Amino acid sequence: MPQVPYDSRRRNKASRLSRASSLAQGKLVPHEKTADLLRAVLEPGDILCLEGDNQKQADFLAAELAGLDPSELRDIHLVMSCITLPSHIELFKKGMIKKVDFAYAGPQGAAVAELLAAGKFPIGAIHTYNELYARYYIDLTPRVALIAAAKADRAGNLFLAANTEETPAIVEPTAFYDGIVIAQVNEIVDTLPRIDVPTDQVDFVIEAPYPMHLTALFTRDPAAITDTQILMAMIAIKGIYQEYEVESLNHGIGFDTAAIELLLPTYGEELGLKGKICKYWMVNPLPTMIPAIESGWVDTVFSVGGEVGMERYTAARSDIYFTGRDGSFHSNRPMGQLAGHYALDMFIGASLQIDIHGNSSTVSKGRITGFGGAPNMGCQPNGRRHPSKAWLKAGREANPGPGALPGRKLVVQMVETFQAGRVPTFVETLDAQDPSVKSAMQGVAPIMIYGDDVTHIVTEEGIANLGACRTQEERTAAIRGVAGYTPVGLKRSSADTAALRARGIIKLPEDLGVAPARANRGLLAAQEIKDLVRWSGGLYDPPSQFVDW
Amino acid sequence: MTTADLLAHFFGASATGITISNKIATGYAKVGDQDVCVIGTVDGTYIDNAAALQMSEQVLDCVRSKPGVPIVMLVDSEGQEPNRTAEMLGLPVYFGHLLTCLQVAREAGHKLITVATGKAIGGAFICYGMFADSIYALDSATVGLMPVEAMSAVTKIPVAILEELSKTLPALEFGAAPFALLGGVKAVWPTDETLADKLSAAIAAATPEDTRAALGKERGGRPQAYDVQQRVLAESAR
Amino acid sequence: MSLTPYHELKARERIAVIADAGSFREILPPPERVMSTYLPKLGIPVSFDDGLAIGHATIGGKPVYLAAQVGQFVGGSVGEVHSAKLVGLLKSAARDKIPCVFLIESGGVRLHEGSSGEIGIAEAIRAVFSCRAAGATTLAVIGSDIGAYGGMGILSSCCDFRLMTEHGRLGISGPIVIEKWMGKQAFDSANRALVWKTSGGKTRYVLGDADLLVNDSADSVRAGIISFLSKSAKPDLAMVEARQASLEARLEKFGQISDPDEIWKTCGITDIAAASLAEAEDFAKSFHPQNS
Amino acid sequence: MEAFQQSFPSHALAWPPSRKWALAGVVGSGNLEVLIEPNPAAPDTVSYSVETPIPGYRDSWLAALSDFSAHYAVGGTTITLHDQGAPPVVVKLRLRQALDLLTSAQS
């Protein structure tokens, strides 16, 4: 009779823990013994999760892992959201990894492309964030997870501070399926401000010799916002925010949306929109939102992560931000992404390239960057049932048939027609469609947002309402109509453009009553970082790379 | 050539009156029968705040105690000290002070003569040597803004292109001879036994008019500067 | 009248708000096309004014010669034409005995024009002193993020007076050069807070290198300029002797300090964070600069 | 560096302009300077001269300049553009600013 497995993972975990028992006092392991701990608990063939996203990194554990000899660690199936650090790349160079499933590789995009060409980057698949976290519960549950926390107490409870991010999404499936959770912490203390991860779900804690790496990814210096971005922001506010009465929304990290945030207390106020739009946000604590918050525009903000320097401000504005019992900020990436998917009227973001079908991509040749979280929000939530004004209006425009959803999320792409150096944003064919790029993706072009999901494209030329287009040809004509002097735009027919304009599918600044002459930096509620500090009443502590006083 | 040899070439036995401390030369000596005050840098040293003060103190001493004695400036410096503390303490202001002291000397009737003896590069040359009435360079001196390699590193223009262009643009070349073509030095001197005589003659001939732009035009190395200066002067007089 | 932040303005916009309305008469204006002959050979765009607008104007009714550098054009750098325009203007000021005001925004010598810009700055420095000898006030206005660096930092330090805003920086070697030289540990050029504390207007004012610190608004800068137009600081032995003593004392007192906050504290500033955030003119009122 | 000249028909500028020339913009990254000068000899034509360090976008430039010439009365002028990678939106903005300055009352 074949042996039916009942608890082999549990027994396996026990034997791993016993191999490591001499290294730990309780759950605490001195950082000098990290490599020994990794040798003791890891086995060839393991699914290993290394925490690291685009902000927060288990960088000490990653470095220790990369320092192991390939003879001690091999055939690892690595699962992680962001391949960000040089130490991550080192694992592949050393040939320790037999397979990798990930979501994003932005900063290491060029290195990943090189490894791939050399046959040293065995991709399982490239995911969106929530898709990857979901697989942690299905077929990619980690045997060992290496995570990062701000503080631990001596019992092994963890405090994650502002950057909760995806830690719970890694810890829960690992801990509840007999995996091992190892946490690096900045410091071990007697009493935690609050417990974010209970010690029951943690096996080992290491006080790292240096604090974990945190990037101020969401800080945009108002000084770098251009007049063109302000013009686009005015177009977006009048043509979309006001038009659809967008109450709940997500913003990207670009300067375009930063300009919108800084126009709310000036231009938005002038249009009488306070209290009508932009009340509920799923967005990280963006410093450029401070003036809008201080002017009473914002009801709530939930975040997927924290932002360096916003700790005191968010703690002092607990009516706006989600904070813990200790008073400090709390975030959660999977839940934020879920909220962004189901509970928002609008997603608005930027892109590097948009093709004539409205597909967009941030891929350029020679770089493998992946997806991150934008596609989780920049798509239509077909499981949504609750209505809102914006959702219903966009749904009516789409003229759904009897078998379709009555509403649509606004999925808006906001781009200048040219990127820096006169590189056109609008192209006939995306770089993502290049065979060399597709071959890395099992033949599927890495498209960030699909044209079928997009409702609007905003450029400095105007707005194209793709959601109201009836045919693919119309959609392409609408895109050409706002693509300016790019090769894609030069191919437009003036008759098509005029017809679409008459139907309100293309709206130019003059159609919206937006005067380009007013688009200048004087309209921003804050023109430099110091203004944000002043707006915050001194509660915002900008990182030193943003300080010029 | 050692510093001692070099000083002996210019000042003979009187070179003993010159003290070198922290690679800054200061003191009094004779060129022929002429008493001179000497300030300068040696061994390619970097000039920092203290070095500037050492030289300015010598200039002030000369103005106070040796009326009318010519001041000879020797330049062998790689540049200003690229140092955060030096900047924090106001390095440009120290340099400005040194130049102001030299101006006070000039107005008190001291002639100012510079000889670039070694490296005379960028800010280190601007902060005193290039302020003289008359500027000379030894043929072995490396004079100029910066070598093409350094220029390339900052401007991102390939070295090969800069080198090719420098064949027709002496401004991009590094050395005493091309610098002379720009009018930046009056004459390039061979390092030989005639140095003392040349220096002596240079002191006698020095006048405070700045003739560098005219010289740069005449020699063809700086074709625009003189004419542009003159056009501005003419237009402003209207 | 304008409350526009001064540092946000471009050279010609600065002239427009600093000079009395309609008073600016440009010398060698753009249609004259007096441009660099070096840049085209390097495939770099040229500018009609070579990055420097010069001319005659009145400010608060007083005649001045006025120059404004275009920081966006090759970093406001000084090449052959640029320096020759500066020299011509300074010589005009010395001849006519009227003040010369520089709105500075420059990283120094234009490397693309090699030693010609270096000699040009040296000529301009001589011409600054011709002005001072003639009693024609020279005033360096440093209120842009690029600041006054390299040869322009030295030239600024040779003028009778320096007026700064907290955005302005005065130095010789820029932070990137120093980082390359000393290492990132010693000076991280991305640490803008440290960069500004090292060379920015407030620290320069604390040490007495800036004679006046004003708010970053066109009106404040204009008012500050006017306050200098009837003054001059003609160099003489007594003045430079006093300066020698004060610069020696500064080196003695602060030579071993590496943290600029320590300098502020030594100068009597107790709440560094508040002083950092304070408006320039409030900051300036709060203590007596260490001066010469 | 790519350089090209092109003339377009345009309605005549309101005559006389209030200035002899007007300049807008600066030569800096993503920006350009535009100098506009009256040319009474050809009142129904505007002549452009463009220098740009980014080659290959002549069609795009000419389309933008053609549109500007059609939308605004700039006949009887020559316009010189020194570009440093400005996108068309900035090109059109500077053209408008230069024209406004040329025709606005002297301050």
What DSSP letter does each residue of B152-217 carry, written as one string?
HHHH---HHHHHHHHTT-GGGS-SHHHHHHTTSSSEEE-SSTTHHHHHHHHHHH--S---HHHHHH
Interface mutation vs chain C, best among D21, D26, D31, most C CBs within 10 Å = D26
User: What's the CA gap between D49 and D47, in Å, rounded?
Assistant: 7
- Band (pLDDT 50/70/90 cuts) for residue A185 is very high
* Identity at A522, one-letter amino acid code: G
Query: Above pLDDT 90, what percent of chain A?
Result: 87
Going by C-alpha positions, the residue among A312, A369, A306 that lies closest to residue A336 is A306
3-class DSSP state of C151: helix
Q: What is the pLDDT of residues C106-158, one digit of tens each?
A: 999 999 999 999 999 999 999 999 999 999 999 999 999 899 999 999 999 99
Which positions in chain C touch B161 (Cβ < 8 Å)? 42
User: What's the CA gap between A522 and C149, in Å, rounded?
Assistant: 28
Which positions in chain A touch D61 (Cβ < 8 Å)? 485
User: Is A548 within 8 Å of C191 when comparing Cβ atoms?
Assistant: no
Q: Is it the case that residue A391 has pLDDT exceeding 70?
A: yes
Q: What is the DSSP string of A355-419?
A: -TTS-EE---TT---B-BTHHHHSS--TT-----HHHHHHHHHT---TTS-S---EEEEE--SEE
Which positions in chain A touch C190 (Cβ < 8 Å)? 545
- Band (pLDDT 50/70/90 cuts) for residue A1 is low
Q: What is the pLDDT of residues B124-154, one digit of tens each?
A: 999 999 999 999 999 999 999 888 888 888 8
Q: What is the DSSP string of A118-136?
A: TT---EEEE-BHHHHHHHH
Q: Is it the case that residue A204 has pLDDT exceeding 50?
A: yes
Q: Do A and B touch, counting CB pairs below 8 Å (3 needed)? A: no
Please, what is the average pLDDT of chain A?
95
Which stretches of A460-541 are DSSP H helices?
472-481, 487-490, 494-502, 509-512, 529-535
CA D48 to chain centre: 6
Comparing CB atoms, the residue among A422, A486, A490 nearest residue D54 is A422
Q: Is it the case that residue A357 has pLDDT exceeding 50?
A: yes
Task: Specify the DSSP class assigned to residue C129.
Answer: H
Task: State the first-to-last Cα distance of chain B, in angstroms, to the nearest integer.
Answer: 54
Section A118-133 average pLDDT: 94
Section C94-100 average pLDDT: 98
CB pairs under 8 A between C and D: 52
Comparing CB atoms, the residue among A418, A487, A516 nearest residue D87 is A418
Query: Above pLDDT 70, what percent of chain B?
Result: 100
Strands D31-38 and B44-47: unpaired
Section A137-164 average pLDDT: 97
Neighbours of D85 (CB within 10 A): 20
User: What's the CA gap between A135 and A137, in Å, rounded?
Assistant: 5
- Band (pLDDT 50/70/90 cuts) for residue C1 is very low
Q: Is it the case that residue A367 has pLDDT exceeding 70?
A: yes
User: What's the CA gap between A79 and A131, in Å, rounded?
Assistant: 12
Dihedral of alpha carbons A2, A4, A8, A9, sign = positive
Which positions in chain D touch A231 (Cβ < 8 Å)? 89
User: Is B212 within 8 Å of C122 when comparing Cβ atoms?
Assistant: yes
Please, what is the average pLDDT of chain B?
95
Q: What is the pLDDT, as a whole number, of residue A237? A: 98
3-class DSSP state of D64: helix
Which positions in chain C touch A521 (Cβ < 8 Å)? 8
- Band (pLDDT 50/70/90 cuts) for residue A439 is confident
A327 Cβ under 8 Å from any chain C Cβ: no
**pTM (two decimals):** 0.92
Cβ-proximal residues to C80 (8 Å cutoff; 6+ apart), any chain: B171, B222, B224, B225, B228, C36, C37, C38, C113, C116, C117, C120
User: Is B108 within 8 Å of C237 when comparing Cβ atoms?
Assistant: yes
Task: State the first-to-last Cα distance of chain A, in angstroms, to the nearest integer.
Answer: 77
Strands A97-104 and A76-82: parallel
If phi over 0 gives left and psi between -120 and 50 gives alpha, with beta otherwise, what is residue A300?
beta
Reported ipTM: 0.91
Comparing CB atoms, the residue among A420, A461, A490 nearest residue D30 is A420
User: What's the CA gap between A469 and A457, in Å, rounded?
Assistant: 12
Going by C-alpha positions, the residue among D29, C277, D94 that lies closest to residue A422 is D29
User: What's the CA gap between C173 and C151, in Å, rounded?
Assistant: 10
User: Is C5 within 8 Å of A527 when comparing Cβ atoms?
Assistant: yes
Exposed/middle/buried for residue D33 (C-beta within 10 Å: 0-12, 13-18, 19+): buried
Q: What is the pLDDT, as a whole number, of residue A117? A: 87
Q: What is the pLDDT of residues B208-224, one digit of tens each?
A: 999 999 999 999 999 99
Q: What angle do CA C94, C100, C102 make, to 5 degrees?
A: 140
In chain A, whose CA is at the least distance from the CA of C197?
A549
Which positions in chain A touch D87 (Cβ < 8 Å)? 228, 416-418, 422
Q: Is it the case that residue A390 has pLDDT exceeding 80?
A: yes
C29 Cβ under 8 Å from any chain D Cβ: yes
* Identity at A79, one-letter amino acid code: V
- Tell me which residue has tokens 């803004």: B145
C3 Cβ under 8 Å from any chain A Cβ: no
Q: What is the pLDDT of residues A32-88, one digit of tens each?
A: 999 999 999 999 999 999 998 878 899 999 999 999 999 989 999 999 999 999 999
Comparing CB atoms, the residue among B49, B127, B213 nearest residue C123 is B213
Q: Is it the case that residue A15 has pLDDT exceeding 50?
A: yes
Q: What is the pLDDT of residues A255-264, one digit of tens each?
A: 999 999 999 9
Q: What is the pLDDT, as a whole number, of residue B54? A: 98
Q: What is the pLDDT of residues C222-232, one digit of tens each?
A: 999 999 999 98
D73 Cβ under 8 Å from any chain A Cβ: no
CB pairs under 8 A between B and C: 265
- Band (pLDDT 50/70/90 cuts) for residue B155 is confident
Going by C-alpha positions, the residue among A459, C197, C102 that lies closest to residue C188 is C197
Going by C-alpha positions, the residue among A346, A293, A347 that lies closest to residue A320 is A293
Strands C138-142 and C100-104: parallel
Q: What is the pLDDT, as a whole number, of residue C3? A: 62
Q: What is the pLDDT of residues A297-313, one digit of tens each?
A: 999 999 999 999 999 99
Distance from CA of D41 to the nearest CA of A (A): 31
Which positions in chain A touch C5 (Cβ < 8 Å)? 527-528
Peptide bond into A265 cis (omega under 30): no
Distance from CA of C196 to the nearest CA of A (A): 6
Give residue ranges of A with CB < 8 Å to any D CB: 226-228, 231, 416-418, 420-422, 460-461, 484-487, 490, 516
3-class DSSP state of C107: coil
Which positions in chain A touch C202 (Cβ < 8 Å)? 549
Q: Is it the case that residue A360 has pLDDT exceeding 90?
A: yes
Which positions in chain A touch C273 (Cβ < 8 Å)? 538
D82 Cβ under 8 Å from any chain C Cβ: yes
Q: What is the DSSP string of A276-324?
A: TS--EEES---GGGHHHHHTT--SEEE-SS--TT-HHHHHH-TTTB-B-
Tokens found for residue D70:
């059609």
Which positions in chain A touch C193 (Cβ < 8 Å)? 544-545, 547-549
Query: Above pLDDT 70, what percent of chain C?
Result: 97
In chain A, whose CA is at the least distance from the CA of C146?
A548
User: Is B97 within 8 Å of C111 when comparing Cβ atoms?
Assistant: no
- Band (pLDDT 50/70/90 cuts) for residue B233 is very high
Q: Are C201 and C169 in contact (CB under 8 A)?
A: yes
